[in-house]
Structure 1
Amino acid sequence: MKHVHLYLAGAALALTSAFALAQDAPESLLPPGFDKPARPAAAAPPRAAAPAAAANPAATPVIQQIPSGLAARSGPVALPSGLPSLEALEAMSPDELDSVLGLKPKDDIPPAARHAMLRVGVIDEGEGGLPWWGLRKQNPDLVRTLLEGDSGHFVSRWGHILVRRALASRLDAPAGMEPADFAAMRAALLVRMGEGSAARALVQDVDTANFSPALTQSALDSYVATSDFTGICPVIALQGTAKKDKPWQVLQAVCDAFSGEDSRSMASLDRLFYYGAMSRIDMLLAQKYAGAAGKARRAVKIEWDGVKDMTPWRYAMTLAVGLQPPAALMKDAAPTYSYMAATAPMLSLDGRASAADVAAGRGLLSSTALVDLYGQVYDEDADNSEWATRAARLRDAYVAQDPADRLAAMREIWGDAADPLRLHSRQVLTAYCAARFPVDKAYADDAPDLISSMLTAGLDANAARWAPVLEKGSAGWALLAVGTPGGAAVDTGAIDEFHDGDQSTDSRRSQFLVAALAGLGRLPLNNANDLAGKYGFRLDYATRWSKAIDLAAQYRNPALVALLAGLGMQGDGWDKMTARNLYHIVAALSRAGLSAEARMIAAEAVARG
């Protein structure tokens, strides 16, 4: 019995332990049914045995019958006519090979970026250019005569500025004239004027693929005028066969160096040197220029011994390689080289300032450009050179406390009147100094020089402030009578007073004053003719040129009037200008809507005549 109780107690303990373990087990979080084991998959029914595959027959090749008409033919292969031999082809450069095989590109600009041949130019009418229609309906022979017959040297600085503006405007070519040739003639005249940068910009407005032989030559001249010999390389790439002369071949060799073919470039230059394509000094300069681009590292020594003259090519190449031309060769050089030097960035500041004494008086540099140039000289030139001293005096002319000191600084800058062109260039430099000078009757005797300086920059409103302190008939009064806008009719008695004090040769300034006042409509024509007879000249004499410019003014055609005015202003000094021509120029410009230019030319004539 005792054993039974022990057995039952052990069983109860086992059940109790099992129950306790069951209570401690974790509870399943799965939804009902997910904790049950998966049902066993049904066994797949047995497949019937597949019959044995029959043996495949051997593959046979498919042979397509060749049509009888395309059967191979025996015999020599026909080559294009004129094809060089294999040896000649192997010796050709890539450009020559492309040309022979017809692979040479005809354009170097994507279609979407190409320029139209309409309204070729640099400045649009909205940017200050002249109307595009000005020459479209003109006789092409007349336009050709105006452009090719103009020397590019004008007596008037403002006349130069006017003609440059006309040539750089976006203009349609005359009917019957090729637009490329029209652009070429305009660029050629700009080069003759010394405006190489404007000519280059005009040429670049025409796609190289549209160049004519004349435009190719004008492009070459414009790049030479700016010492930019690599600028012509895109033209040579597409128009390489347009010219065959020796300088063109030299440029082709130079461009090879800048396209990575320095060995071929040097070999070509050596060959051209050997056969005397150009003078020794020109070939040495070309070799030095090309050597700067390649890896040949050839040292070229420039020797000027035996060189007796200077040419535009030689001068431009000298500047391009970073050298200074010998002073002996530049002593009596033409003004053209000063025009090139004034805007050459590779030239020293002193060299550019020296050239500006000529270029500014001709109209190539504005007063703002001159002040910028002398500002650089003031900042960088520590050698107390002539130009650094002048830059310091220019600063005094702006900021000196005492007006007398400012005037003294300006007079020191102007110098004497021994060189009229240099004096006028210096007046351009001080235009804004003069405009800042206080109006005071104590300085009335200095007013003519101050007013003349102001008007070089077109500061007519500043100049007009001096009117209350000037006496009628004085030199300052005469400048304001023609140089300021809205002038009233002028009394002939005041003109006689001006004539009495006129010290110019043959009373030229008095003649110019009468002609300018008549052209501006500030002096009745009958009174002008009476004064002209008294002063020894005529206004009523007509020429073919005067009839043409009067007719152009009648039709309000500013572009044609500007070109005709340029033709009538040719010369190296105001002694080459006649009062009659000045009258027609001023009157035509006024009627054609260019009254500001008319007044500035008139004032310049009275001041410099």
Structure 2
Amino acid sequence: MRELENLSTDELDQLLGLRPSVDIPAAAQRSTERVGVLSFEEGGIPSGAFARQPAALVRAALAASTGPVVSRWGHILLRRVLASRLAAPDGMDPVEFAGLRARTLNAMGEFAAARALVQDVDTANYDPRLTEAAINAYIGTADIVGACPVVRIGRIDRDDAQWRMLAGICNAYAGEATRAGNDLRRLLNTGAAPRIDALLAQRFAGAAGNGRRGVTIEWDGVEDLTPIRFALANAVGEAIPDSLQAGMGPYYRLSAATAPMLPLPERAESAEFAAAQGVLSSRAIIDLYSQIFAIEGVEGEPGDRATRLRRAYVDSDPAARLSAIREIWGGAPDGETYGRYVLTSYAAARMPADEAFADDAAGLVSAMLTAGLDRDAQRWMDTVDGGSLAWGILAAGVPQFDGTVSGGDLSDFFDNDPSARQAKSRLLVAGLAGLGRIDASDASDYSEEMSLGLGRESTWSRAITRAAQVGNPGLVAVLAGLGMQGSGWERMTPLHLYHIVRALDAVGMNAEARMIAAEAVARA
């Protein structure tokens, strides 16, 4: 009897067989034949893109995709493929396939997309991998209650502090406030969970009951953030101390940029990083600053930036618009100018292709191409000097390019390249070779002269080449994402860029190939 008294309510339910096993009636349960949220008609890839592919290859590629994608356009492409409504490869369970895709989306910081994907599978069908991915997606979006069906029905053997906190919260929102309060107090009093986490969980659970017990949040002695701590604090509206917010890593910045409960100026602090990564579109970040501009009394840098952005769009004088754009670019922290390019993409497209503005052409065309405005960028082709940085970005990015690149212009580009170890030149050659905008013989000569090694092969290069040969855009995109793993462009090699651009171009994704090639030149 004493052993029964020491059991938690969840453990007792498990022992007595009272734990629910389904949350959807049999007649409403969904098939897992195709899982995803983006149909082909909505911009996804064909549902059968992976159906006849080797399960081992797809599994290995997704399992190895454990971090961010260095390219904004590569990130956008991979997200679109992973969120598509897809059938699983032959020999792979559809739930396993969904779990691998959701896990990769989480690793990219695409928590909302991962959440949407896992919600397309009935909770009763989850396996441990999909359960973990779902929990991480809900925490990444600070959607704590959204995780409750997974916590209460999930097929996973977990009894750690985080899981028990989530179980307590979910019990509270299931109408079992007393049970939840007892469980969360036990976590706090026994020290099974960090004090700050247990207090935040109590605050969150308390909103579901009728109790009037206040919970005082004390940050003293808290030295770091964790995903669950960050999510709970945001969900209950508890301000996180500046000392913890300073220097937040990529995970927290991407989560904050898309957290709807945070004040708009606070979201703006992380929005440019999220835009540079590809998590936020150009329209999304522009809309964010438009809302900030519409709020009276917003002080500080986000408000000032919103005012400059409006001038960049509506001033009748092109020179004044360019001045506002420059001010926005100039205020970016070191290494984060690209996010400001995304913010000013449509403003840059409104600038006339005039020689008077040629000194800023590289920034303007880079900004346009962050939003895929390649035809607007094309207008500058006759304005910029051959061999300039703007010329190099345009040579890789414009949709209409007659013939092949001039060797003289390329030589001038090499001579003017300010990047370390001629990184821009090396990636430009690789991108142009992949697009077929350099003669094959010239590409071979440049490869040897610059030690690019474009002719080398690896298991990965053979796999992506084969996927392109059989015309499978989905597998090409996944392998391209694997080849672009990294946190900075110094991780991208000319060899990888060449194979990625060539394969994408071969399967009908010329626009994506061009955008990635141009981005490489702009950001290296």
What's the TM-score once normalised by structure 1's chain length? 0.82
CA distance in 2, matches of 1:518, 1:383: 49
CA distance in 2, matches of 1:248, 1:103: 19
Instruction: Specify the code of the residue in structure 1 equivalent to 2:181.
Output: M
| 8 A contact 1:565–1:585 mirrored in 2 | yes
| 8 A contact 2:8–2:183 mirrored in 1 | no
Is structure 2 residue 162 aligned with structure 1 residue 162? no
CA distance in 2, matches of 1:241, 1:340: 25
Is structure 2 residue 396 aligned with structure 1 residue 482? yes
What is the CA-CA distance between 1:101 and the residue it aligns to? 6.3
State the match for 2:188 in structure 1. Answer: 273
**Runs (5+) with no aligned partner, structure 2:** none
Q: Determine which of 456, 459, 466 is the counterpart of 1:551.
A: 466
What is the CA-CA distance between 1:468 and the residue it aligns to? 2.1
State the match for 1:7 in structure 2. Answer: none
| 8 A contact 2:365–2:393 mirrored in 1 | yes
State the match for 2:355 in structure 1. Answer: 441
Instruction: Specify the code of the residue in structure 2 equivalent to 1:156.
Output: S
What is the CA-CA distance between 1:140 and the residue it aligns to? 2.2
Is structure 2 residue 341 aligned with structure 1 residue 427? yes
What is the CA-CA distance between 1:391 and the residue it aligns to? 0.2
What is the CA-CA distance between 1:295 and the residue it aligns to? 1.2
CA distance in 2, matches of 1:440, 1:261: 68
State the match for 2:282 in structure 1. Answer: 367
State the match for 2:266 in structure 1. Answer: 351
The structure that has the greater radius of gyration is 1
Is structure 2 residue 493 aligned with structure 1 residue 578? yes
What is the CA-CA distance between 1:277 and the residue it aligns to? 2.1
Taking structure 1 as reference, are residues 486 and 96 closer, same or farther at Cα in structure 2, changes over 3 Å only? same
Q: After the TM superposition, which of the residue ranges 483-492 and 207-216 deviates more from structure 2?
A: 483-492
State the match for 1:73 in structure 2. Answer: none
State the match for 2:410 in structure 1. Answer: 495
Taking structure 1 as reference, are residues 462 and 244 closer, same or farther at Cα in structure 2, changes over 3 Å only? same
What is the CA-CA distance between 1:92 and the residue it aligns to? 9.5
**What value does the CA root-mean-square deviation take over the aligned residues?**
2.1
| 8 A contact 2:126–2:155 mirrored in 1 | no
The alignment covers a number of residue pairs equal to 523
State the match for 1:201 in structure 2. Answer: 116
CA distance in 1, matches of 2:132, 2:6: 29
State the match for 2:305 in structure 1. Answer: 390
Instruction: Specify the code of the residue in structure 2 equivalent to 1:476.
Output: A
Is structure 2 residue 422 aligned with structure 1 residue 469? no
CA distance in 1, matches of 2:81, 2:149: 27
Describe how 1:104-123 pairs up with structure 2 within 5 A: 105-123=20-38
| 8 A contact 1:390–1:413 mirrored in 2 | yes
What is the CA-CA distance between 1:348 and the residue it aligns to? 1.2
Instruction: Specify the code of the residue in structure 1 equivalent to 2:520.
Output: A
Aligned-partner SS, 1:467: coil
What's the TM-score once normalised by structure 2's chain length? 0.95
Instruction: Specify the code of the residue in structure 2 equivalent to 1:460.
Output: D
Instruction: Specify the code of the residue in structure 2 equivalent to 1:454.
Output: M
Q: Determine which of 425, 444, 451 is the counterpart of 1:510.
A: 425
Aligned-partner SS, 2:382: helix
CA distance in 1, matches of 2:129, 2:303: 44
Is structure 2 residue 228 aligned with structure 1 residue 305? no
Instruction: Specify the code of the residue in structure 2 equivalent to 1:203.
Output: V
CA distance in 2, matches of 1:174, 1:123: 18
Q: Determine which of 37, 40, 50 is the counterpart of 1:125.
A: 40
| 8 A contact 2:272–2:343 mirrored in 1 | no
CA distance in 2, matches of 1:236, 1:179: 21
| 8 A contact 1:539–1:580 mirrored in 2 | yes
CA distance in 2, matches of 1:485, 1:383: 41
CA distance in 1, matches of 2:95, 2:445: 49
Q: Which deviations, in whole Å up to 9, do the C-alpha atoms of 1:280-301 show, x marking residues without a partner?
A: 1110110111011111211111
Q: Which deviations, in whole Å up to 9, do the C-alpha atoms of 1:97-116 show, x marking residues without a partner?
A: 87666666543223443221
| 8 A contact 1:427–1:453 mirrored in 2 | yes
| 8 A contact 1:342–1:353 mirrored in 2 | yes
CA distance in 1, matches of 2:240, 2:388: 46
Aligned-partner SS, 1:131: coil
| 8 A contact 1:227–1:317 mirrored in 2 | yes
What is the CA-CA distance between 1:91 and the residue it aligns to? 11
| 8 A contact 1:381–1:388 mirrored in 2 | no
Q: Determine which of 285, 295, 299 is the counterpart of 2:200.
A: 285
Describe how 1:11-410 pairs up with structure 2 within 5 A: 105-239=20-154, 242-410=157-325
Instruction: Specify the code of the residue in structure 2 equivalent to 1:318.
Output: A
State the match for 1:45 in structure 2. Answer: none
Same amino acid, percent of matched pairs: 52
| 8 A contact 1:136–1:172 mirrored in 2 | yes
Aligned-partner SS, 1:450: helix
CA distance in 1, matches of 2:333, 2:250: 17
- Select the structure with the greater relative contact order (CA < 8 A; seq sep ≥ 6): 2
